[in-house]
Amino acid sequence: MSFTKIAGLGYYVPENVVKNDDLAAIMDTSNEWIIERTGIEERRFGTRTKETTTTMGARAAEIAMQRAGVEKSDIDFIIFATLSPDYFFPGCGVLVQRELKMTEYEAPALDIRNQCSGFLYGLSIADQFIKTGQYKNILLIGSEMHSMGLDFTTRGRNVSVIFGDGAGAVVLQPSDEPGILNTCLHSDGTHAEELASINPGSHSGYHLGTERFGYDDRKYGGTFLTQKMWDGEDLYPYMNGQLVFKTAVTKFPEVILEALQKQGLSPSDISILIPHQANLRISQFIQRQLKLRDDQVWNNIQRYGNTTAASVPIALTEAWEAGKIKKGDLVCLAAFGSGFTWGSALIRW
Ligand code: UT7
């Protein structure tokens, strides 16, 4: 059986740099608070007239395809991971196919909704399709346009200061040599609403109306959009930051060790760990837990914030461009986020 390799990789971030002080000018927050709690110094926000989740994904994909030396006609499967799609439906997979002018080849397009671990889930799906021989050139994209859907008032500050926009992409191909050594995926829906954007949706107040919102929106009788939502009270993402933080610092090391143990390896064997960029404090915690040196962990949340499904491929591409990933290196990817869903991948480069 063949392995799957990353044949090309690329990223795109909007030009528009938003500093912490820019946010402090519109809500009650400060540069000091954001840096101390998250490590973030600045992030990129897209421009409404210029960028969407799809177009950013397309720009990253063009770079990945060019580096892989493949033509549009070679791509036989598209996987798109995002929680901030251009449309509720159809998904960004078909939109990126159109944006890249690839529709004539009629390659299948799959959208995955696994938030921060979307890229890891996509990588695992692609790996299975390559290993079974069904596809030979898979385009996997993670892209997010968070800035269009955040609450930039003080009410939403614990969420809105964290997230940024951007996209990353890889082209995956079969290889005789490893390759992706393994992927480990997990989920636990117990706390689904603790990091979530639930409106508009068809839940109709599903088991949380009264407790969470102080009113029972079931009384609106299954309405997809309610007046309350339009009034802006519950249209934004919600995050129980402390619960997410506590769970993340447990699950990240667990799933990284799981991947290493499957291969009979240990943390000291890792050449570089690319963790999902959720919070610099989370990355530092993982680093300490696994006793990794600074040069074994790549962080760029300081410059881009948390770009959810895009964060791993952006960081991976940056590390590769910086010469930190060489042939034979053991690269470990890991992510945790909403769902909760989490995962890891070990790649022999
Ligand atoms: O990628 C998806 C996964 N997401 C994550 O991994 C995020 C995990 N969680 C976190 O990163 C952290 O929980 C946050 C950065 C979101 C929040 O940091 P925290 O240290 O957990 O703060 P907190 O929520 O406990 O809030 C502490 C205080 C509160 O004020 P009081 O009640 O102590 O007076 C908040 O209202 O900080 C306040 N606060 C802020 N103050 C200034 C919350 N957000 C802000 C803000 N600026 N942006």
33 close to ligand 1 (CB < 6 Angstrom) = yes
Q: Where are the domains positioned within the chain?
A: 3-177, 198-235
In a 13 Å sphere around the CA of 342, the CA atoms on its Cβ side amount to 23
161 close to ligand 1 (CB < 6 Angstrom) = yes
Distance between Cα 33 and ligand 1 center (Å): 9
pLDDT value of position 207: 45
**Which is catalytic among the residues 114, 137, 279, 306?**
306
Say whether pLDDT at 310 is over 50: yes
Distance between Cα 28 and ligand 1 center (Å): 13
CA gap 30, 28 in Å, rounded: 7
116 belongs to the catalytic site: yes
pLDDT digits (tens, 9 = 90+) for 194-206: 999 988 877 655 5
Say whether pLDDT at 45 is over 90: yes
Distance between Cα 80 and ligand 1 center (Å): 30
More confident residue, 339 or 217: 339
Cα Rg of the chain, angstroms: 20
pLDDT value of position 215: 53
More confident residue, 216 or 8: 8
Q: Which residues contact 285 (CB under 8 A, 6 or more apart)?
A: 249, 252
User: Which pLDDT band holds residue 147 (cuts at 50, 70, 90)?
Assistant: very high
146 belongs to the catalytic site: no
CA distances from 2 to 54, 127, 343 (A): 31, 10, 22
92 belongs to the catalytic site: no
> What's the angle, vertex CA 77, arms to CA 71 and CA 81, rounded to 5?
110
Say whether pLDDT at 189 is over 80: yes
Distance between Cα 221 and ligand 1 center (Å): 34
Q: Does the bond joining 14 to the residue before it have cis omega, within 30 degrees of 0? A: no
Average pLDDT, integer, range 112-134: 97
3-177: which CATH topology?
A: Peroxisomal Thiolase; Chain A, domain 1 (3.40.47)
**Which is catalytic among the residues 276, 279, 300, 332?**
276
Task: For ligand 1, pick from 38, 158, 286, 306 the residue to mutate: most ligand atoms within 8 Å of CB.
Answer: 158
Atom of ligand 1 nearest to the CA of 159: 16
Nearest CA to ligand 1 atom 24: 241
Say whether pLDDT at 224 is over 70: no
CA gap 191, 319 in Å, rounded: 33
pTM for the model: 0.95
